[in-house]
Amino acid sequence: MRFHFSPKTPLLSLSSSSVTSLCLRPFLPSAPKSPFYPSLACHVSTGGNLRMDSTSPDPSSSSSVSVDSVADGLKNQSLREHDISNNNNMNNENKKNNGKLSLEDLNWDHSIVRELPGDPRSDSIPRQVFHACYTKVLPSAEVGNPKLVAWSDSVADLLDLDPKEFERQDFPLKFSGASPLAGAVPYAQCYGGHQFGTWAGQLGDGRAITLGEIMNSKLERWELQLKGAGKTPYSRFADGLAVLRSSIREFLCSEAMHFLGIPTTRALSLVTTGKFVTRDMFYDGNPKDEPGAVVCRVSQSFLRFGSFQIHASRGGEDLGIVRSLADYAIRHHFPHIENMSKSESLSFSTGDNDQSVVDLTSNKYAAWTVEIAERTASLVARWQGVGFTHGVLNTDNMSILGLTIDYGPFGFLDAFDPSYTPNVTDLPGRRYCFANQPDIGLWNIAQFASTLMTANLISDQEANYAMERYGTKFMDDYQAILSQKLGLQKYNKQLVNKLLSNLAVDKVDYTNFFRALSNIKADPSIPGDELLVPLKAVLLDIGKERKEAWTSWVQSYIQELVASGVSDEERKASMNSVNPKYVLRNYLCQSAIDAAEMGDFEEVRRLLKVMERPYDEQPGMEKYARLPPAWAYRPGVCMLSCSS
């Protein structure tokens, strides 16, 4: 089977704002003309080195017996596939007897520690870590009277964990890091990244400590990670801790995004430490003590673009680590690429003048890069579809699995504004605003591809083809999502452009508008003065001129609905299945945070339950779908800093 891709205009010959220009910028008057855009050129030159700062090795070294004893010689362990199978058989027997597994029965694996180079030191002194993918380090957050305040039964099911384990008295101790979890081999990952477009050098897990990987009964690999569990070598000048405020937001949004159908890391538990953490939330010189907390994050992998970038930036022998990391990722998380047959002949014309061809079966790293590009494009398209703004799309926050990762200052569009950013540090240039996310995704893919080129894993041609695929995949998915949201059988560019322009002019609530839109009837005979009745609750305070603009749009929309031939009832059900009624608005988070900081966690748990069914009507919970109240616009609610 042979495929050909021959775009009339190669994506990378377009301007830096190419992806967004196809879906947002031309018809959104408030979209920013960001000064960052000249830096978003994505063409990669063959043989070029990454322009990153290198650092001299740290001559000092030390070791910690306690961490090495926990590791128990794991680096020299050879874990065979039949050993994993035997463990699974034993665990399956336990499940037959008990339904689910206890914490002691979980089937641990430690492939990263076993297969990748580690730091010879195991202390948490802030430093540059060279020639290593991780540092073994124990959680060190101080706890007083830790309490489990929220948990996800859904995530427990992924791990085959018995939900009754949440009732254990020692659960808060284990998931705050105060007490070791049997079978865990804790470590912090080393990575770098571009922050706001500038290479930042080594970053790493400064307050996240991975406990290891759980192999469930389906042979799925799930990493468990404690965020806020104490210092690591990557903490720099920070304390490695997290506050309750940011922990609630991360816990709730991880789960909310999953139930919206958007790829994401997950959250098993939220534990308060019983201690206070000092934070300057607004960076205004007025720090205050806030309750400390630890979230147990869960993901099939926490590898990110920066995991590869840090080693490529250092060059020399570290280029071999880039290859080892790529081999590891493909082996464990992209096995279909490892097993790809040469007979498939996956060849693609690049559309260049010389009609060059990229054959993905001849280089597994090229096929892998293309898949990462497409997964990333699909993720960003889903964000745009649901009105989600990540806020900090640095390359160290980009998952190689195409997951939403690292929830800091995120936000959903309450009022449709393409220039919206939830991050106060992003306000000057709005690099990471809603409208820019598609372009930033492409820019980040360019940095990742450049990393692999530096390690001689892919060619210039293969890198550029991966970025072409990003643009194509994004537009395909974005157009399909918008068509589904409108209940249309095919994409209508003119109709969508006009709609998004209207939404931006009148700052309409994005979520509520699409939910209300399903109430429009495919009836051309409806009088003009009645056309906007189904949208009355979302089209607020608009004058005569704007009513005429909206009436004109609804008339065009009804014509499309009539042409589709789908019944109103069928279309309404279909639209409501993709247009959520409930999203995790910032003011909802803040209400739960305010109560939690007073010791009442019931609102956190209630909000979690609502967000687990975002597309259902949920009688009695309508207040969670309301527009933000006036108090929600005070500083610190809808515009949050990264301080956590």
- What is the spatial distance between Cα 579 and Cα 576, in angstroms, rounded to a whole number? 5
Cα 320 to its chain centre, rounded Å, is: 28
Is 396 noted as a catalytic residue in this protein? yes
Helix boundaries (H) for 282-363: 305-314, 319-333, 335-338
Say how far apart CA 241 and CA 248 lie, in whole Å.
14
176 vs 196: CA distance, rounded Å? 32
> Which H, E and C letters describe 374-386, residue by residue?
HHHHHHHHHHHHH
Burial class, 294, CB count within 10 angstroms (exposed 0-12 / middle 13-18 / buried 19+): buried
Instruction: Give the Cα-Cα-Cα angle 441, 447, 453 (nearest 5 degrees).
Output: 135
Residue burial 35-49, b: 16+ Cβ < 10 Å; e: rest: ebbeebebebeeeee
Instruction: State the Cα–Cα distance between residues 235 and 242, nearest whole angstrom.
Output: 12
Among residues 105, 119, 396, 406, the one annotated as catalytic is 396
Which of 281, 313, 291, 283 is closest to 244 using CA atoms? 291
Residue 493: helix, strand or coil by DSSP?
Answer: helix
Decide: 268 and 232 in contact? Cβ < 8 Å. no
- How far is 113 from 623, CA to CA, in rounded Å? 47
Report the run of H or E that residue 604 belongs to, with start and end. Answer: helix 602-611
Whether the Cβ atoms of residue 485 and residue 575 lie closer than 8 Å to each other: yes
Tallying the residues shown for the chain, one arrives at 644
Q: DSSP H helical segments within 147-201, as ranges?
A: 153-158, 171-174
Strands, E assignment, 324-463: 347-349, 357-359, 388-389, 411-412
* Catalytic residue annotation: 396
